Amino acid sequence: MNQPIGNLRTLVLNADMQPLSWAPLSVWNWQDAFVAVHQDRVIQVKTYDDVTVRSATSEFEIPAVIALKNYRKRRNVAFTRYHVFLRDEFRCQYCGVRLPAKDLTFDHVVPRSKGGRSEWTNIVASCSADNLRKANRTPAQANMRLMREPFRPTGYQLDASARRLPFPVGELHQTWMDFLYWDSELDG
């Protein structure tokens, strides 16, 4: 082997050749993927060009992309902070500005003090300024308007949101790109 392989990861596709999940992106460490390939549990789609692992007698390729043999249905989406941001595409739902997660807050549309619950249909991403401005009021009382009514997203909807976000491309191996991008606007 001619480069450190400890940190290599393997992109995991569903049987339809789409990533098993987009958010977070479905990746395994290569060792798990390697074992799954050699136990014939998954299909090896691509290997890393320039990396191999040796045993005493053989040399093996490292899987860069694998696919499940059977289609795995998406599970219900967990109600997490990250998923709320993702549903809202990291945009303040009042003014529409897109911000990194660290600069976004959560707004209870109907404030907790007025009986609003912490659930999909009552929580939206909000910039700090709008959160402060709205304070302890409903949007109507604050004379503010939601861009979109909050909803419980399906896995498919979250995937669609994730695909619209700019990726941290530096973290992705070139080999994966064919499976992540299909439109030409991402050439840069």
Q: Are 46 and 63 in contact (CB under 8 A)?
A: yes
Least separation, in Å, of the C-beta of 131 and Zn ion?
A: 8
In this structure, the strands spanning 42-54 and 59-68 are antiparallel
Task: Output 83 or 91, the one with its CB closest to Zn ion.
Answer: 91
User: CA triplet 81, 86, 87: central angle to 5 degrees?
Assistant: 100
Number of chain positions touching Zn ion (CB under 5 A): 5
The reply on whether position 92 binds Zn ion by CB under 5 A is yes
Least separation, in Å, of the C-beta of 130 and Zn ion?
A: 4
Task: Output 23 or 92, the one with its CB closest to Zn ion.
Answer: 92
| Residue 93 structure tokens | 């739902």
Task: Output 78 or 140, the one with its CB closest to Zn ion.
Answer: 140
Q: Which has the closest alpha carbon to 21: 74, 88, 57?
A: 74
Least separation, in Å, of the C-beta of 59 and Zn ion?
A: 55
Task: Output 9 or 134, the one with its CB closest to Zn ion.
Answer: 134
Write out the binding residues for Zn ion, residues 95-114 only, by CB under 5 A. 95
For residue 40, what are the contacts with CB-CB under 8 A and spacing of at least 6? Answer: none
With contacts defined by CB under 5 A, name the span among 19-27, 73-81, 94-102, 151-159 that binds Zn ion: 94-102
Task: Output 47 or 131, the one with its CB closest to Zn ion.
Answer: 131
- The span from the CA of 11 to the CA of 68, in Å, is 11
Write out the binding residues for Zn ion, residues 112-141 only, by CB under 5 A. 127, 130
Q: Which has the closest alpha carbon to 134: 168, 166, 95, 171?
A: 95
Q: How many CB atoms lie within 10 A of CB 119?
A: 11
Residues engaged in binding Zn ion (CB under 5 A): 92, 94-95, 127, 130
